Amino acid sequence: MTVPSRPGRYEFRWEIGDDGCGIVHGRGPGSWGEALRAVGHDLALGQYNKNVDWLRWYVEVGDGERIAGDEVMLHVAGPGRIGLGLGGGVRVDTALAEATRWAATVTQDAVGDYNLAWPHRPAGGLLYARIHGEEAVWIDGKSQAVVAAIGSLQPNDL
């Protein structure tokens, strides 16, 4: 899949909806919108130590100078000290599974800087984003077992 690499910054807003699920507003290049919507769904669940009820992701597509023209940087901003999340070096036309895994990892690191453990299982610690087959999934940090596809996490998975 070839995605035209249009330099620019795309904003995605995440919030908790009335039903308690994560909602993501925004559009961006390639598979990034779908990847962030999957991460956003799961972000409403399994928060431990603190709670976050809003975030902003900024997907920045390279301009050929500061960022290579076919690469993406992901910035994460939120309440308090969240704003340290930054990941780069992934191509704009990255496949959906890898974009989702990467966005989940960068988001997990960013909210971790805010002292929020996510996604957290009360009896089992953190879940981690991995690729299993051709799908982005959460795995149990202890057993390494697949818990759920990223974007389909449910309260009973925790």
Q: What is the mean pLDDT of the chain?
A: 81
CA-nearest of 121, 120, 130, 124 to 142 is 124
96 contact partners, CB below 8 Å, separation of at least 6? 31, 34, 35, 136
pLDDT confidence band for 39 (50 / 70 / 90)? very high
Q: Provide the number of structural domains found in the chain.
A: 1
Q: Quick check: is 155 in a domain?
A: no
pLDDT of residue 94: 87
Q: Quick check: is 55 in a domain?
A: yes
47 vs 122: CA distance, rounded Å? 10
Q: Quick check: is 108 in a domain?
A: yes
Q: Give the tens place of pLDDT for each residue, 70-87.
A: 777 777 877 765 555 566
pLDDT tops 50 at residue 1: no
Q: Could you tell me the CA-to-CA distances from 134 to 40, 94, 130 in Å, in that order?
A: 20, 13, 10
Q: Quick check: is 136 in a domain?
A: no
Whether the CA torsion 15, 126, 114, 109 is positive or negative: it is: negative
Across 25-39, average pLDDT: 85
User: Which domain does 65 fall in, by range?
Assistant: 8-116
Whole-prediction pTM: 0.85
Torsion of CA 32, 37, 38, 42, to 10 degrees: 140
Q: Give the tens place of pLDDT for each residue, 96-133.
A: 999 999 999 988 988 888 788 899 988 778 999 999 99
125 vs 122: CA distance, rounded Å? 6
Quick check: 34 and 25 in contact, CB under 8 A? no
Q: Quick check: is 84 in a domain?
A: yes
Q: Quick check: is 47 in a domain?
A: yes
Most confident of 14-18, 35-39, 68-72: 35-39
Quick check: 52 and 24 in contact, CB under 8 A? no
Q: Quick check: is 156 in a domain?
A: no
24 vs 43: CA distance, rounded Å? 10
